[in-house]
Structure 1
């Protein structure tokens, strides 16, 4: 079986059982019947499909899909029922998030220059090169609306990805659709096609650019997506946002105050068509003095922005006085907002994410002290990351503080997916289901870990919550792969002091629940029909394993005989 190469040691262990087996690369598990052919166009369409379906990397940054089996199932669902939707955990979504973060950052830098220089038609903001660049930005913002209309979303209460088009539109309209539409008004296209007209026309369009500052909301959403994907810790993420917000606020407000202040007349309302004369320094607004104008505006308006005075430009009418008061209160609120973010950063040092980071540092220091090999270090870190999902908590202490009833309800909810996927649990009486689930013990196995070994005593049954395992006979013949929802080892529950008839090895990082024989016997005694059903399943599996083992032995004997002959 070809597939993803985990490590040389993994291959060698699987090879010992007669088969060089690693997990299949699920990108190649589809026949792509809808896109046949070997032409460049067919290859391009297949590449597009791979980009919009759920990515294998999603198992490392989301709780929803934690195994390749679950990812494969999700891909099949999308290709069968929602072929033209974009999965929220796909590669294309991450690429688009990176693109939009860059576009929004450039847009928030470029838009304020339009406010600063809108009265001077000779400035660079009216050159065709600059307007072409701004029109490209407008196109990206419009395209963002289309992509969001085609992208599914994760429903947290239902713990599932929604890809239905009507539900996507309804969810989008309730969240950020209005913000995206206001930010995507193609102002620069309008300015480009109105070149040569009176400056007052361009000032009308410039007022519409105020809506562009709602892009801060969109930026935060996409930057959070990138931070989750690349495992950027909370401290780094929040610190980056503080610096970004501070810089953008200072840059935007200084230019915006300059624009608004010089376009508020004594008898005019805020959005009237009559404005004061152009900036008093517009005569200097040629290309060589742009930066001089910018820094002059920054210097003067910073005094207003930081509540330290008016500078040389004293308010001349009541509208400008109202503007200055609004700016003072607004900048004060912004300072409070930044202080709140800084306090959240400090408070984050006591959060579960920070505790995990501290635990990880101690773990690395411990492994360094013990001089463990690099491969073992990697396995240990992988184990901790999968088990805790970068959030450290003391589960035993939490469960010890709640009642037995609440504990059972929590266990049922935590094992809800397991109960839905595992055929063994279906149609069980509720009382028995609760008793069995309360006896389950969760275990995490890494790639290449031997879960059970043939010819060894067994006293437990296993249920796969997430992951993939390979089953081998005693002689090393591979029987099958088991994925999410499967179970194995039930023979040990039926026959006491029996020996394992197969070897089970983890093919990927797997979360598995163990049910011990002594707990099972106590729980199932009142249900003889269920016991008979499990005995039947165990007998069938024993028969299949024995037949395959005998066949494999005869095959090996024939090969040896042929070699001798």
Structure 2
């Protein structure tokens, strides 16, 4: 059984060397090369990205993804968890938010507002063009498979098959119909055309609604706000945008039905806004907005009599949609405040009990934080009784669950990949798992070893008898094999970050390998190479890093550019 210690471990290995995925630039690199390196860094995966922390469980898997993206054929790809993609998302959010509100006004009120917001609209157009181009280079995530796609060909075909047509309509349709925008004498036959145009453009924009709300959720996470805030903003946006669209339609549809001459019983005549060219835009919009809000929420509106059949149809649609969405919103708010969602509610109750426990024990802040991070990692913000669930499964299904849970470990541990599936299933059925928090001591040098360990996810530091950190082990690595003649561990192993470790009795593990002589021989050779590698590192450390290989790695043997003075001689 692995042990946990309260001793504090401070990592002495350079974190810069651990995270260096791009080759270093030479000292005499040009400004262009330095600029391109900055761009490349912005396109690379950012470990501090909110999405990165949710997607990857530890730093070692993040580092592996950075190395994958650093390959030459991905140099033009923007990683979905990069800083540059964050900028693209924010710009997308701002530009699409503007369009959600501006397009209905443009087509509903016949572009009368354009003179006021022309500069803003031009800036938004330029931003949309840039975003449209960037989507050809931004990778994407397949949530069901939990896979990040950064292959250029796949990105291209994925975009062409999903949002490309709709983005073309949304970004360029406005330019196609711009010939009609600034016409001050719009003819009656263009009213229906403008209505059709508004429907097409708004549909194109709303195909991005799910992506738009995903960006909003990312922004909420970056600001460290709760899901409750996101839900409230979601409903606020939907209510405001639908009311805004209905407001514009309430003005546009009578123009389509009646043209330039309104009947005397029209609300527009009664409100005195039928002479469109003489009424300020604010007055037109305010009158339509007040009517829409009243019918949307079912409030009475006695100011005008609505007797025209065409206007009554529009107001009926507004009332039905408003009532239905209000019911949905109330149901979602009840769910949000804990009447539904048992798993998350139990998780919060569990955290509440933990808080009470820590308070009663008067635990220090540092230990409180470690406990909270442990349970957040272990439960993934959802409460469930894993033992109870597994107890109801058949033996075959339990083994399948074990293998699926350990699939990443099997993929990265070459030793395990060589075992037959039946042996592998039996092996994992005999294994146990333990989660170690940063600085937890897993094994200590000089103590007898009973188990062998496999790193499923995380990073483990290897420390020698002189208390010097010599290397790090990562996903798929195993330890607990290097022992003295009397069976005591040579090295101490300490968790550098939150790490999930599989362990099994050493005796039982060797029994499993004994049935496969070739694999056992491969294992013995691997242990010998590990001993040689560690001995070489310790020798280098003993020499103070003065061997040739260390000097090359540190750059001590490379000639540095010297600044030489230049003397000019002038003739008198």
Normalising by structure 1, we get a TM-score of 0.80
Change (3 A) 1:175 1:130: same
Shift of 1:86: 1.3
2:489 to 500, 505, 514: 500
Identify the structure with bigger relative contact order (alpha carbons < 8 Å, sequence gap 6+): 2
3-state DSSP class of the match of 2:434? Answer: strand
2:148 matched to 1:161?
Answer: yes
Residues 312-391 of structure 1 aligned to structure 2 (within 5 Å): 312=304, 314=306, 316=308, 319-346=310-337, 349-391=340-382
* Distance across 2 between alignment mates of 1:185 and 1:156: 30
Q: Specify the alignment match of 1:126 in structure 2.
A: 114
2:89 to 97, 102, 109: 97
Structure 1 gaps of 5+ residues are 1-8, 269-275, 557-565
Q: Which moved more, 1:258-267 or 1:147-156?
A: 258-267
3-state DSSP class of the match of 2:243? Answer: helix
Shift of 1:501: 0.7
3-state DSSP class of the match of 1:55? Answer: coil
Q: Specify the alignment match of 1:252 in structure 2.
A: 245
Shift of 1:69: 2.7
Shift of 1:227: 4.3
Q: Is the 8 A contact 2:220 2:226 kept in 1?
A: yes
1:144 to 131, 138, 141: 131
Structure 2 gaps of 5+ residues are 1-5, 262-268, 546-572
| Cα root mean square deviation, aligned | 3.7
Q: Is the 8 A contact 2:110 2:181 kept in 1?
A: no
Change (3 A) 1:370 1:216: same
Q: Specify the alignment match of 2:564 in structure 1.
A: none
Q: Which moved more, 1:322-331 or 1:409-418?
A: 322-331
3-state DSSP class of the match of 1:150? Answer: coil
Shift of 1:417: 1.2
* Distance across 1 between alignment mates of 2:346 and 2:311: 50
2:479 to 488, 491, 499: 488
Residues 382-421 of structure 1 aligned to structure 2 (within 5 Å): 382-421=373-412
Q: Specify the alignment match of 1:219 in structure 2.
A: 212
Q: Specify the alignment match of 2:231 in structure 1.
A: 238
Residues 51-130 of structure 1 aligned to structure 2 (within 5 Å): 51-58=42-49, 61=52, 64-80=55-71, 81-115=73-107, 117-118=109-110, 121=112, 125-127=113-115, 130=117
Change (3 A) 1:100 1:139: same
Shift of 1:512: 2.0
* Distance across 2 between alignment mates of 1:207 and 1:27: 54
Change (3 A) 1:240 1:361: farther
Residues 458-537 of structure 1 aligned to structure 2 (within 5 Å): 458-491=449-482, 498-521=487-510, 523-537=512-526
Change (3 A) 1:525 1:229: farther
* Distance across 2 between alignment mates of 1:189 and 1:82: 35
Shift of 1:513: 1.7
Q: Specify the alignment match of 1:285 in structure 2.
A: 279
* Distance across 2 between alignment mates of 1:99 and 1:206: 28
* Distance across 2 between alignment mates of 1:446 and 1:453: 16
Q: Specify the alignment match of 1:6 in structure 2.
A: none
Shift of 1:528: 4.2
* Distance across 1 between alignment mates of 2:422 and 2:460: 30
3-state DSSP class of the match of 2:504? Answer: strand
Q: Is the 8 A contact 1:138 1:184 kept in 2?
A: yes
Q: Which moved more, 1:71-80 or 1:528-537?
A: 528-537
Q: Which moved more, 1:101-110 or 1:518-527?
A: 518-527
Q: Which moved more, 1:319-328 or 1:389-398?
A: 319-328
Change (3 A) 1:115 1:542: closer
1:430 to 404, 421, 425: 421
* Distance across 1 between alignment mates of 2:355 and 2:385: 20
Change (3 A) 1:94 1:401: farther
* Distance across 1 between alignment mates of 2:426 and 2:287: 74
* Distance across 2 between alignment mates of 1:481 and 1:355: 37
Change (3 A) 1:309 1:259: farther
Q: Which moved more, 1:217-226 or 1:43-52?
A: 217-226
Q: Deviation per CA, 1:101-127, whole angstroms, max 9, x where unpaired?
A: 2333333333444355437x4xxx131
Q: Is the 8 A contact 2:91 2:127 kept in 1?
A: no
